[in-house]
Amino acid sequence: MFFGILGPVEARTADGAAVPLGGRQLRALLALFLLDAGRVVGTDRLVNGLHGEHPPAGAANALQSQVSRLRRALRAAGTGPTVEAHPAGYRLAVDPDDVDLHRATRLHRAGRQALAAGEPARAVDLLGEALALWRGEPFADVTAAPFAAAQVVRLTELRLGIVEEYAEVALVAGEPTAPVAALREVIAAHPLRERPRGQLMRALHATGRSAEALQVYADLRRTLADELGVEPGAELAAVHLAVLRDERDDPVPPPPARLPAQLSSFVGREDDLARVAGRLDAGRLVTVTGPGGVGKTRLAVETAARRAGEVCFVDLAPLPAGARVAPVLLDALGLRDSGLRLRDPGLGLRDSGVGPSRSGPHHSGAGLRESGVGSGDTGLPAGGTDPPPARLVMALSDGADPAVARLVTALSDRRVLLVLDNCEHVLADAAPVVRRLLTACPELRILATSREPLGLTGELLCPLAPLPVPTPEATAGAALTAPALRLFADRAAAVRPDFVLDAGTVDTVRRICAALDGLPLAIELAAVRVRALPLAEVAARLDDRFRLLSRGDRTAAPRHQTLHAVVRWSWDLLSDAERVLLRRLTVFAGGATVSAAEQVCGCGCRGGCGCRGGSRGPLLPFSAEEGTPATTQRGCELDTAELLGALVDRSLVEHTAGRYRMLETVRGFGAERLAEAGEDDAARRAHARYFLRLAGTADGYLHRAEQVDWLGRLRAEHRNLDAALRWAVVAEPPLALRLVGALSAYWYLRGLRGEIAPLAEQLLRAVGPEPPAELVEEYVLCVVHAAHGEAGAGLTEHARRATDLTNAMVGPPRQPFFNVLWAQFAGPPGAELPHRRRLIGTDPWSRALGDFGNGFLALFEADVDTAESELRRALAGFRSVGERWGVSQALDGLATIAAWRGAEDEGLALRNEALELLRPLGAYEEMADLHCRRAERLLRLGDPEAARAEYDRAADLARRGGVSATMAQVFWGLGEVARLTGDLAEARRRQAEALARLASEGWMWAGVRAAALTALGRVAQAGGDLAEAHRRHREALGVALHQHNGLDIAEAAEGLAGALLDDGAAERAAWLLGVATAVRGLRVTASRDVAVVVDGARTALGEDGYHAAFARGAALRYEEGSAVLRDLLGT
C-alpha cells in the first residue's frame, strides 16, 4: 500500500485503487502517523496535532476510537499496515519508502549522491522523480488541522529547494529544457525569489531563447522597483550580464566535495534533531556544544542533510590552533584568494558539489551544496569595462580582510546554511568572521559545532548531552529501546553479527553504557571490543577505560580514534590554571558546589599552579591543619568560580542545579593528570576533611526540625561522602573513624547501614580493637555498622570490645544517635539499664528518646499501659523539636497497641501518618518496616492479596536501601501469603529464604527469625507432619525467649498452641494461649491462625473448660509466664 501527503492525504492499494479513509479527522490522524512513518508517535503529540495545545476533555479517549476506526479502514483494504499500540503512543507499521514524503526525501538524497559521484544525468532522473511525487499543496484536505500549517510551510520550502537543485543539476547535465516548467511554476508562486529567476534565465539562454531570458530579468527588475524600490541582487545582475555577452554555462560535473557521507546508522537523536532544526528556524547562528565524543558533528550533518536548500560544510579540525578561518571558507565555497569569479556567480556549483576553478578542482575537506558561488580567477567581469557590483566595492573598501570581503560578496544574497564543524581551537579567528558574515549576509544561517560557545550576541546554544541510559530499576522493555543501548547493539552487531540485545545481554550493556556516561563515541569504541572479548569482560575492564577503548576507526580524525585522544584534545586547549582546577576537581565523585570547589581546590598562592600571585615554595594548595580550608588570595589567577565557568564553556564540566560535575571519562583523564602532578593525596585529604566538616555540621541538625534540609544536603553529597570515606579507610583510618561518627545518623535515617557495612568492617581491620582514646564513640559506631554486613565471627572480638567501651562511658555521648544505634545492636539492657539511662542526654530530643526506650521496654515486659503512656510522652517530646523520625517511631509503637486493642482504623491512621513523615527523609528501612507491619495487619484480617501488595512495596524500598534483614521480613510475609492461599511449597521456600537472610543478623531481627520458624511449623501442620511442626514451634519459642521480648514470645507460644491442639492436647493449647496473653500484657484481637486454635480448643473442652484453662495461663505475670515457657522447653 502506498500513502500520500504531498497533496491531499491518500492511501492506495498495490493496484492503484484508492482506499476510503473517512472524514477529515481520520485523514489528519493518518497524516500525523505518516509524518513519522514506522516510528512510535506519542499520544500527547497526536492529541495536540489534532486539537491544538488545549484539547477538549476526553480527547485521549476519542483518540483511541479514531485509531480503531483507522485500523478498520486500513484492514478493509486487505493488505494494509496495522496501527500498533505502544506504552508511549502508537505506531503505523509502514515502510517509510511507501510514503511519498519519505520516498521524495530518499530520492532527493540519492540525487545529491549521484551528482557527487559524477553522475549528473542520473541525478536529474532521481530529483525529477522526487518532484513528481508532489500532487499539490501538502495536506491539501486537512490544512485546518492544528499540526498542518507548520508542516505545509516546511514541505513547501523543501519542494522549492528540490526544484532549484533539479534546475542546477539539469543545467550541469546539459538538459536545460528539463527544469523550465517547474521554474516558471515556482516564480509564479514566489515572484520575489531571485535564484529561480537566474536559473530560468540560464536555462532559456542555453536553449537559444535569450530574449525570453532577458525578459525574465526585466520582469523581476520592474517588480522589485514597484514593490520594494530596489534593484536585483549582484548575482542575478551577473547572470543578466552573462546573457548579454552570450556566455553560457559549462556542463561539467562538480567534484565530490559535499557533506561527509556516513557509514553507520544514526541512533537515538530524534529529539535533538528537532531541537536543532527549531533553533535554526528561530535564529541565524546556532552552536551545538558538548564534550568530545558526544556526537556534535554527526548531529550537525544529519540536521543539514534534512534541511532544504543550500548547505556548505566546513571541517575546521585540521587547522592548527589559532589558524585563520576565512581562507578555508573560501576554499569550501570554490573561491580562491586570487579573485572572485563574477561571470557565473553562484550558478556553476551544483547540489552537494563545488564546480572546479579554471586551474582545476579544489579540495578543502569541506563541501558545498547549492552555494550559489562560482569559482574562477578573474575577480571582475570579462573585458574590465563594467564596474563591479556596488556590494563588492563596499566589501573591498570597508577595511575588512580581503578574504572575508570575498566571502561577504559570495554570500550576501544567498540563502545558505554554513556548517562550521569543530570551532573550539580557532574561536579567536572564527568568531569575528562569523559576526561579519551574519551582519552582511541576511540570508545566511550558520550551524556551528564546538566544545565551547562562539560567544556572539544572538548565538543560540544547543548543548548536546550524552545519550540517556536507563536506571537499573527500568523495565526490560524500556531498557531494550533506550538510545544508548540501541547504539551499542547496532555497532556491536556490525563487528559480531550474532550479537543480539535481549533479556540476557541488556543488563550488562546497560552497565557498560552507564559506566561510559552514555557518551556515543565511548559506546561505539566499547561495542567494537565485543569482536574479541566476551560482553562481560568488556564490562569488567571499564575501570581502565582508556586502555580498553584504545582502538577506533583508523580513518577517523586522530582526536576521535581513541577515548584518550578525545579528552586530550580538550585538555590541550586549556590554560595552565584551568588544567590545575580540572585535575583537582576529579576528587569530587559526586560533583561540587562553588564553595566546595573553592575550599578543596583553591590555590593559596604557594606557587606551582600557574598563578603569578605567589612564589613561596612548593605547591601546597591544601591546608595541613584539619578544618582550615585553603583560600584563594586576592590577585590569584586560580579564581575558582571564574575558572569553573570557563570549564563549563569548554564542555569539560557540566553545571546543573548549582553543582559542577564531570563525565566519568573526563574525570578519569583528570585523575591521571592529578597523579602525574603529585597532588593526589593532598587533594583527597583536603576533600575528605572538607566533607568531615560538612558531616559534622549536619549531624547537629539531624535530630531537629531542620533534619529534612540537612538530609537533603548530605544526600546530594552522598557520592562525595562515600569517596571520602573510602579514601580515608585506606589512607588515614582515624579520619575515617571521624567520618563514621559524623555520618552515623545520616546512614541510619536513610536506611543505608547495609550499604556501608563492608567499609565499616574494612575500617575495623585497619584500626584493630584498640581505638584512639578520643575516638571510642566512633569505634563503637563502626562496630555497629559492620554488624549489618556479613562479618560473621570476625566481628566477635570487636563486638566484645565495643560492649566494654560502652559500659565504661560515664556520660552522654557526643553523637545523640549513638544511643539509638547501640540499643538496636546490644538489645534490651537487662542489668545494664541504669547505665544505659546515664547515657541519655538532657536536651529535649534525648529526653524524648529516653521516654521512647522506656515505652518499648515496658512493651517487651507486658506492661502495655505504661508503654502507651511513655510512648505518648515520647511523641510529644519529638513533636516539640520537630524531629520526624522520632515522631514516626512513637506513632508506630502506638499503632501496634491500638491494633492489639482492636482499634484497627486508629492503628492504620497512625501508621499512615508515620509513613508520610518518613518519606521526605528517604528512610528506606523504616518505611519498608512500616509497610511490612501494615501487611501483617492485613494478614491478620484475612486479606492476603492486599498484604502481598504491601510486601511488594516494602521489598522495593528494602532493595533501594540495601537492607537485607528487611527483605527477610518481606520473605516471611510472602511465605505467609502463600500458606494462607494454599501454596505450601512456596510458603516453605519463602520462609527458608527469610532464615537465610537472617543468618548473621543480631537480636533486632530475632523476632523475624522466630516468626519464620513459627510459619514453618504451621506449614508442617498443614502438611500433616506434626513432629516437624513441634520441632519448628519449639525452636521459635527458644529464639524468642532468648531475646526477652514478650511480643515475640507470645507469637511463638500461640504457634506452639496450634501444634498441641492438632496433637490432641486441647487443654494445654488453651493454657498456652493464656500464657501468651500474659507475656504480651494484653488480650489482642486474634489472628486467623489463633482463632482456629481458640475455636478448636473450645469445641474440644467446652466453653467453661476452655476459659478455665486459658485463665490459668493468663493469670501469670510476665516473669512467671516466661519461666513456665522455659520449663516447657526444658531450658
Q: Is the pLDDT of residue 334 over 80?
A: no
8 A C-beta contact, residue 661 and residue 670: no
CATH of the domain at 381: 3.40.50.300
User: Do 1113 and 1051 share a structural domain?
Assistant: yes
Q: Which of 253, 288, 313 is the last residue of a domain?
A: 253
User: Do 646 and 556 share a structural domain?
Assistant: no
Q: Is the pLDDT of residue 692 over 80?
A: yes
Q: Are strands 445-450 and 416-421 parallel, antiparallel or unpaired?
A: parallel
Q: Tell me the percentage of the chain whose pLDDT exceeds 70.
A: 85
Amino acid found at 807:
N
pLDDT at 321: 79
Residues 927 and 915: their CA atoms lie apart, in Å, by 6
Residues near 98 by beta carbon (within 8 Å), at least 6 away in sequence: 1, 2, 3, 37
Per-residue pLDDT band at 1125 (split at 50, 70, 90): very high
User: Do 340 and 299 share a structural domain?
Assistant: yes
Confirm whether 938 is domain-assigned.
Answer: no
User: Do 426 and 524 share a structural domain?
Assistant: no
Per-residue pLDDT band at 551 (split at 50, 70, 90): low
CATH of the domain at 132: 1.10.10.10
Of residues 474 and 721, more confidence is placed in: 721
Chain position carrying cell 527477610: 968
Tell me what the mean pLDDT of segment 238-267 comes to: 66
Residues near 540 by beta carbon (within 8 Å), at least 6 away in sequence: none
Residues 979 and 54: their CA atoms lie apart, in Å, by 52
Residues 1006 and 1014: their CA atoms lie apart, in Å, by 12
Q: Is the pLDDT of residue 193 over 80?
A: yes
Q: Is the pLDDT of residue 480 over 60?
A: yes
Residues near 281 by beta carbon (within 8 Å), at least 6 away in sequence: none
Residues 783 and 332: their CA atoms lie apart, in Å, by 70
Q: What are phi and psi of 586, to 5 degrees?
A: -65, -15
Which of 720, 727, 680 shows the shortest CA–CA distance to 596? 720
pLDDT digits (tens, 9 = 90+) for 1063-1094: 999 999 999 999 999 988 877 766 788 889 99
User: Do 95 and 1 share a structural domain?
Assistant: yes
User: Do 206 and 147 share a structural domain?
Assistant: no
Residues 991 and 1016: their CA atoms lie apart, in Å, by 7
Confirm whether 992 is domain-assigned.
Answer: no
Exposure pattern of 735-752 as b/e (b: 16+ CB <10 Å)?
A: bbbbbbbbbbbbbbbbbb
Domain limits at 585? 574-678
Q: Looking at the 3D structure of the chain, how many domains does it have? A: 6
User: Do 32 and 82 share a structural domain?
Assistant: yes
pLDDT digits (tens, 9 = 90+) for 615-634: 332 233 444 344 344 444 44
Chain position carrying cell 571520602: 724
Confirm whether 659 is domain-assigned.
Answer: yes
C-alpha cell at 897: 497497641
Tell me what the mean pLDDT of segment 956-975 comes to: 83
Q: Which of 212, 228, 253 is the last residue of a domain?
A: 253
pLDDT digits (tens, 9 = 90+) for 909-961: 999 999 999 999 888 888 998 999 889 888 877 888 899 999 999 988 888 76
Residues 1055 and 1076: their CA atoms lie apart, in Å, by 10
Residues 90 and 39: their CA atoms lie apart, in Å, by 8
Write the DSSP string, 1096-1119: HHHHHHHHHHHHHHHHHHHTS-HH
Tell me what the mean pLDDT of segment 346-373 comes to: 31
Confirm whether 1077 is domain-assigned.
Answer: yes
User: Rounded to the nearest 10 degrees, how much is the dihedral formed by the CA atoms of 923, 928, 929, 932?
Assistant: 160
Per-residue pLDDT band at 283 (split at 50, 70, 90): very high
8 A C-beta contact, residue 95 and residue 38: yes
pLDDT digits (tens, 9 = 90+) for 5-20: 999 999 888 888 888 8
- Cβ–Cβ contacts within 10 Å for residue 568, how many? 16
Q: What are phi and psi of 80, to 5 degrees?
A: -70, 160
Give pairs for 266-272: CB < 8 Å, separation 24+: 266/298, 266/302, 267/483, 267/486, 267/487, 267/490, 268/467, 268/482, 268/483, 268/484, 268/486, 268/487, 269/295, 269/298, 269/299, 269/302, 269/467, 269/483, 270/39, 272/299, 272/462, 272/464
Which three-class secondary structure state does DSSP give residue 963? coil
Q: Tell me the percentage of the chain whose pLDDT exceeds 90.
A: 32
Amino acid found at 127:
L
Q: Which of 74-78, 777-781, 1002-1006, 1123-1127 has the lowest mean pLDDT?
A: 1002-1006
Q: Which helix (H) or strand (E) holds 1010?
A: helix 1006-1022
pLDDT digits (tens, 9 = 90+) for 981-1037: 999 999 999 999 998 887 655 566 788 899 999 999 999 999 999 999 999 999 999
Q: What are phi and psi of 776, to 5 degrees?
A: -65, -50
8 A C-beta contact, residue 287 and residue 453: yes
Write the DSSP string, 24-73: HHHHHHHHHHHHTTTSEEEHHHHHHHHH-SSPPTTHHHHHHHHHHHHHHH
pLDDT at 778: 95
Chain position carrying cell 536548500: 309
Amino acid found at 540:
A
Per-residue pLDDT band at 783 (split at 50, 70, 90): very high
User: Do 334 and 356 share a structural domain?
Assistant: yes
Q: What are phi and psi of 1006, to 5 degrees?
A: -65, -35
pLDDT at 669: 85
Amino acid found at 32:
L
User: Do 126 and 27 share a structural domain?
Assistant: yes
Confirm whether 241 is domain-assigned.
Answer: yes
Confirm whether 963 is domain-assigned.
Answer: no
Number of residues that this document lists for the chain: 1131
Amino acid found at 988:
R
Residues in a beta bridge with 592 = 660
Give pairs for 653-657: CB < 8 Å, separation 24+: 653/582, 653/585
Q: Which of 152-161, 304-313, 706-715, 1066-1075 has the lowest mean pLDDT?
A: 304-313
The dihedral built from the CA positions of residue 821, 822, 827 and 832, taken in this order, carries a sign that is negative
Confirm whether 908 is domain-assigned.
Answer: no
Confirm whether 878 is domain-assigned.
Answer: no
Per-residue pLDDT band at 100 (split at 50, 70, 90): very high
Q: How many CA atoms lie within 13 A of 417 on its CB side?
A: 30
User: Do 1101 and 1121 share a structural domain?
Assistant: yes
8 A C-beta contact, residue 924 and residue 957: yes
User: Do 578 and 560 share a structural domain?
Assistant: no
pLDDT at 924: 84
pLDDT at 1124: 92
Per-residue pLDDT band at 168 (split at 50, 70, 90): confident
pLDDT at 544: 62
Q: Which of 244-248, 459-463, 1075-1079 has the lowest mean pLDDT?
A: 244-248
Average pLDDT, the chain: 81
CA distances 208 to 91, 198, 203, 493, Å, are: 53, 15, 9, 57
Q: What are phi and psi of 286, to 5 degrees?
A: -120, 130
Q: Is the pLDDT of residue 255 over 90?
A: no
Which three-class secondary structure state does DSSP give residue 449? strand
User: Do 158 and 210 share a structural domain?
Assistant: no
8 A C-beta contact, residue 419 and residue 313: yes
pLDDT at 7: 93
Q: Which of 108, 129, 164 is the last residue of a domain?
A: 164
Indicate the pTM of the whole model: 0.63
pLDDT at 401: 72
- Cβ–Cβ contacts within 10 Å for residue 229, how many? 7
Tell me what the mean pLDDT of segment 92-103 comes to: 91
133-147, 465-479, 491-505, 1079-1093 — most confident range: 133-147
The dihedral built from the CA positions of residue 409, 412, 415 and 418, taken in this order, carries a sign that is positive
